[in-house]
Amino acid sequence: MPADGDPGSEAATRALLVELLGEFWRRGWVSGTGGGICGPADGGGLLLAPTGVHKERVRPDEFFTVDPADGRVLRSPERADLRPSECSSIFCLTHRARGAWSVVHSHALAAVLAGDVAVAEGADHLAIRELEMLKGIPGVSNVDTHLVPVIRNTPREPELVGQLAAVLADPRFAASRAIIVRDHGAYIWGDDVLEAKRHTEVYHFLFEATVARRGRHMEERA
Amino acid sequence: MPADGDPGSEAATRALLVELLGEFWRRGWVSGTGGGICGPADGGGLLLAPTGVHKERVRPDEFFTVDPADGRVLRSPERADLRPSECSSIFCLTHRARGAWSVVHSHALAAVLAGDVAVAEGADHLAIRELEMLKGIPGVSNVDTHLVPVIRNTPREPELVGQLAAVLADPRFAASRAIIVRDHGAYIWGDDVLEAKRHTEVYHFLFEATVARRGRHMEERA
Amino acid sequence: MPADGDPGSEAATRALLVELLGEFWRRGWVSGTGGGICGPADGGGLLLAPTGVHKERVRPDEFFTVDPADGRVLRSPERADLRPSECSSIFCLTHRARGAWSVVHSHALAAVLAGDVAVAEGADHLAIRELEMLKGIPGVSNVDTHLVPVIRNTPREPELVGQLAAVLADPRFAASRAIIVRDHGAYIWGDDVLEAKRHTEVYHFLFEATVARRGRHMEERA
Amino acid sequence: MPADGDPGSEAATRALLVELLGEFWRRGWVSGTGGGICGPADGGGLLLAPTGVHKERVRPDEFFTVDPADGRVLRSPERADLRPSECSSIFCLTHRARGAWSVVHSHALAAVLAGDVAVAEGADHLAIRELEMLKGIPGVSNVDTHLVPVIRNTPREPELVGQLAAVLADPRFAASRAIIVRDHGAYIWGDDVLEAKRHTEVYHFLFEATVARRGRHMEERA
């Protein structure tokens, strides 16, 4: 299943992004044309899937290349009916704030329910603790309490940018590689595509475990 | 995995329907020979799977073509032992009322449990709110409360037609692309097959999220 | 994925049994070398998987052929280290009592939890009602209350035979194509392999739906 | 899907380990580069996956060979950037204490929640009973109460060795082929790779069933 070819080439990155979109779709992390992923293009751009399409059906030649400095489209796919994902401004912001070359946008139910746990606890973040899987995040150990910011959803994704910039600058969340958007999902990133994949698997596990352990009390309070 | 060939041809539609039946079966949305899907045939007909067969085993040459004006069979598969799906009258009605060229009939447990939530709340519909995934339905935003009609089950599927016609004409449900049938499942549609697929993924997510959030209170009331 | 070749031949049956064992394993209905399936051999025998092997790894030439009249082995696979499944006596009994040419032995968690529901309700059966999926069982409609017998588990599978014979003869359970064994799983059958597959999907859905609807009250009573 | 070739050769073992890592990853038992498996190398060593890599992407030529007597690396893969898994000391200890030639390290949520059940019950073990699946463990019957030790998690996996040695020597746990690590997962072993696979499926079922049956009461107590 792994993508073949030179792992450092843009062609290999495009193949890997396609493979991961299929995998995330099979797990219910992207669905209904929602969710997505970006990765590094040759020359310093970000490869970005088109909007409004079934993400598991995106082909390697259908990515846009955007300039992470300003979101400007550097290169478009040949298919004239495609437009770049609404995630563009958020992916570019995360790249500039954290140096992330790959960002995943998840629409998983576990991320939505994890946001509900934070809301029920009256917090602007999800506090995750007592889980070995925390060690999958750089600099975090299994004896730490790891804080993931939770922001409010907005009618359009670019309108999330202000809140995102605030939590990316908040020192309480310096270790987090994820931001939960209430009622919506999560953004999860890494230095490269395989690190973003690892963090995506790690945070989905952490969300599921936290919901399984604390979701009950949330509902009893509701 | 995507079906090859000219995406507008009937052969491509048949291949896509077969692919989606397999996918829906793997997800538990069609099973036990129940559930189904229709799509556009050349010349204005609807392609309809046979009844009583394992839907993930239907072959591209085993669809019936029916006239959506009256449900009359225009073309039958060569296999003489096949009969058209019982969904025919409902699929044709949905086409006439909403212009849908593709309708999915789901037997998912999440649709049954979503119907239970509506019943427990004493409503003739499921009110869905505070979910980004609502944006997957045309004209609906994530700040809307979206109403999906819930009708009673009947001994035979064609007997659902009266209730279906009533809710399709009800202005409260004008935005809905889905109808839940209590104890049974849901009908979900779109302008074409890929839109019906998108709506199918979207509504199953909405059903699962609503059951996860509100199902508990339902049971406590029960 | 469907097995190729003449659907009536024993070679096609062997291929189909192998395919279904793989599918049931992916769904968690057979696992840990437990569970199984039988189907018709040429000449009136039953094809039976070997015991103690990973069922999704059984090859088409590794089935035993047994005489359903008395369970005698008519034909053994070439691999000398294989022994016939412990299900043999139960599969043969079900064949004789109900004419079933295919019986599935499921180890699904949903079957175990469905048995718990019956126990919590103080009944020797699971009463299933208000589900369209009931129509997947011959002669049963969605307005019927369908009774599935629930028997006690025993240290060895052949010791179940007495209880099985009793419930197969009990007129309350004449419509059932399934028997639940507490703490263990279920036997589910059909006239042929594809009907047994349909009933297997149908009953697993019915078990899951019943546990989702009634399992909570069971636990509150516990 | 089964690995081809001579089942006794090291090449077949490497192929089987790769196949099982993919399977365990699809089931969520290894994820986020965590979890793993070892198996027998020619000449008495243990084949060990590298650390910090996506386990479903490990290739047959990327295993280390370690001496189970002392954990010394006997043979390294050609890729110079790989290091042996942190599980090495635990896998070697389990081999020496129990003769296991294959050990699985699971990061499954069900194992974490099973540990929570034991903690909620104030026990240093999980008591599993009334499940046919217990017969998948050598010497255990479905009328036994089977005790699986539960140990505390530590910041680094090698630091688990002391607790592991204690429970491996504890006569209460002589029949167990698994050790649960709280907040972390489980180690599960067998005489060979296929027996370890069987025990892995069996214990995950036992964990899921026990959490489904007793997890509710745990949370009510919390």
CB pairs under 8 A between A and B: 55
Tell whether C71 lies on the interface with D, counting CB pairs under 8 A: no
Mutate to test the interface with C, among B33, B57, B182 (most CBs of C within 10 A): B33
- Find the mean pLDDT for residues A110-133: 97
Q: Flag whether pLDDT at C181 surpasses 90.
A: yes
Count CB neighbours of B145 within 10 A: 10
- Find the mean pLDDT for residues A147-168: 94
| Partner-chain contact C198 B32, CB within 8 Å | yes
Q: How far is B36 from chain C (nearest CA, A)?
A: 14
Length of chain D measured in residues: 222
List CB contacts (< 8 A) between A202 and chain D.
31-32
Which residue did the predictor score with more confidence, C85 or A182? A182
| Partner-chain contact A205 D32, CB within 8 Å | yes
Tell whether A202 lies on the interface with D, counting CB pairs under 8 A: yes
Q: What is the pLDDT of residue B218?
A: 53
Mutate to test the interface with A, among B1, B141, B213 (most CBs of A within 10 A): B213
Q: What is the pLDDT of residue C2?
A: 39
C194: nearest CB among B54, B153, B219: B54
Residue A7 pLDDT class (50, 70, 90 cuts): low
Tell whether A218 lies on the interface with D, counting CB pairs under 8 A: no
- Tens-place pLDDT, residues B169-203: 999 999 999 999 999 999 999 999 999 999 999 99
Q: Alpha carbon D166 to chain centroid distance?
A: 17
Which residue did the predictor score with more confidence, A157 or D49? D49
Return the amino acid letter for C113.
L
Give, as one character, the DSSP assignment of residue B33.
T
Q: Which of B10, B130, B132, B220 is catalytic?
A: B132
Q: Looking at chain C, which residue has its C-alpha nearest residue B108? A: C205
- Tens-place pLDDT, residues B22-47: 999 999 999 999 999 999 999 999 99
Both structure tokens of A220: 């009893």
C202: nearest CB among B22, B32, B109: B32
Tell whether C57 lies on the interface with D, counting CB pairs under 8 A: yes
- Find the mean pLDDT for residues D158-168: 94
- Tens-place pLDDT, residues C61-95: 999 999 999 999 999 999 999 999 888 999 999 99
- Tens-place pLDDT, residues C145-159: 999 999 999 988 889
**A63 vs A42: CA distance, rounded Å:** 13
- Residue A149, SS3 per DSSP: strand
Check if the beta carbon of residue A50 is closer than 8 Å to that of residue A77: yes
Q: What is the pLDDT of residue B166?
A: 97
Q: How far is C83 from chain B (nearest CA, A)?
A: 32
List, as one string, the DSSP characters of A157-216. Answer: GGGGHHHHHHHHH-GGGTT-SEEEETTTEEEEEESSHHHHHHHHHHHHHHHHHHHHHHHH
Q: How far is A46 from chain D (nearest CA, A)?
A: 23
| Partner-chain contact A56 B198, CB within 8 Å | no
- Residue C210, SS3 per DSSP: helix
Given CA atoms C4, C7, C12, C18 in this order, what sign does their dihedral have? positive
Check if the beta carbon of residue B82 is closer than 8 Å to that of residue B50: yes
**A202 vs A190: CA distance, rounded Å:** 12
Three-state SS string across chain D, please?
CCCCCCCCCHHHHHHHHHHHHHHHHHCCCCECCECEEEEECCCCCEEECECCCCHHHCCHHHCEEECCCCCCEEECCCCCCCCECCCHHHHHHHHHHHCCCEEEEECCHHHHHHHHHHHHCCCCEEEECCCHHHHHCCCCCCCCCEEEEEECCCCCHHHHHHHHHHHHHCHHHCCCCEEEECCCEEEEEECCHHHHHHHHHHHHHHHHHHHHHHHHHHHHHC
Residue B157 pLDDT class (50, 70, 90 cuts): confident
Neighbours of B, requiring at least 3 CB pairs below 8 Å, are A, C
List, as one string, the DSSP characters of C86-115. Answer: TTHHHHHHHHHHH--SEEEEE--HHHHHHH
| Partner-chain contact B2 A57, CB within 8 Å | yes
Question: What contacts A192, CB < 8 A, 6 or more positions away?
Answer: A39, A40, A101, A102
Chains B and D touch, using 3 or more CB pairs below 8 Å: no
- Tens-place pLDDT, residues D81-117: 999 988 899 999 999 999 999 999 999 999 999 999 9
Both structure tokens of A45: 């751009």
Buried b / exposed e along C154-185 (16+ C-beta atoms within 10 A): beebeebeebbeebbeeeebeebbbbbbbbbb
Q: Which of D132, D157, D159, D208 is catalytic?
A: D132
DSSP E strand stretches across C120-195: 125-128, 146-151, 178-181, 185-190
Q: Which of residues 133-172 of D touch C (CB under 8 A)?
A: 133, 135-136, 141-143
**Known active-site residue B208:** no
**Rounded to whole angstroms, what are the CA distances from A198 to A195, A218, B199, D26?**
5, 28, 30, 14
Chains D and A touch, using 3 or more CB pairs below 8 Å: yes
- Find the mean pLDDT for residues A9-13: 96
**B24 vs B37: CA distance, rounded Å:** 10
Long-range contacts of D187-190 (CB under 8 A, 24+ apart): D187/D90, D187/D94, D187/D103, D187/D104, D187/D105, D187/D106, D188/D103, D188/D104, D188/D106, D189/D94, D189/D98, D189/D100, D189/D102, D189/D103, D189/D104, D190/D100, D190/D101, D190/D102
Tell whether C115 lies on the interface with D, counting CB pairs under 8 A: no
Q: What is the pLDDT of residue A220?
A: 46
Task: Report ipTM (2 d.p.).
Answer: 0.94
| Partner-chain contact C31 D209, CB within 8 Å | no
Q: Which stretch of A46-50, C1-5, D55-59 has the lowest confidence by average pLDDT?
A: C1-5
**D15 vs D2: CA distance, rounded Å:** 9
Q: How far is B181 from chain C (nearest CA, A)?
A: 9
Q: Flag whether pLDDT at D145 surpasses 70.
A: yes
**Rounded to whole angstroms, what are the CA distances from D52 to A1, C220, D158?**
19, 44, 15
| Partner-chain contact A31 B194, CB within 8 Å | no
Q: How far is B72 from chain C (nearest CA, A)?
A: 25
- Residue B168, SS3 per DSSP: helix
Mean pLDDT, chain B, as a whole number? 93
Q: What is the pLDDT of residue B4?
A: 44
D34: nearest CB among A136, A194, A197: A136
- Tens-place pLDDT, residues B72-110: 999 999 999 999 988 899 999 999 999 999 999 999 999
Q: What is the pLDDT of residue D8?
A: 75
What is the set of active-site residues of A?
Answer: 132
B131: nearest CB among A28, A54, A183: A183
- Tens-place pLDDT, residues C28-44: 999 998 999 999 999 99
Mutate to test the interface with A, among B27, B104, B132, B143 (most CBs of A within 10 A): B132
How many helices (H) and strands (E) would you count in chain C? 5, 9
- Find the mean pLDDT for residues B163-169: 97
**Terminal C-alpha separation, chain B:** 44
Element (H or E) spanning A73, and its range?
strand A73-75
Tell whether C31 lies on the interface with D, counting CB pairs under 8 A: yes
Q: Flag whether pLDDT at A22 surpasses 90.
A: yes
Mean pLDDT, chain D, as a whole number? 93
| Partner-chain contact C132 B113, CB within 8 Å | no
Q: Flag whether pLDDT at D1 surpasses 60.
A: no
Q: What is the pLDDT of residue D87?
A: 80
**B93 vs B69: CA distance, rounded Å:** 8
Q: What is the pLDDT of residue C85?
A: 86
C57: nearest CB among D2, D130, D142: D2
Both structure tokens of A68: 């992470």
Mutate to test the interface with B, among C145, C213, C221 (most CBs of B within 10 A): C213
- Find the mean pLDDT for residues C178-207: 98
Residue D5 pLDDT class (50, 70, 90 cuts): low
| Partner-chain contact A208 D109, CB within 8 Å | yes
Q: What is the pLDDT of residue A4?
A: 43
Q: Alpha carbon C68 to chain centroid distance?
A: 16
Count CB neighbours of C188 within 10 A: 30
- Find the mean pLDDT for residues A36-53: 95
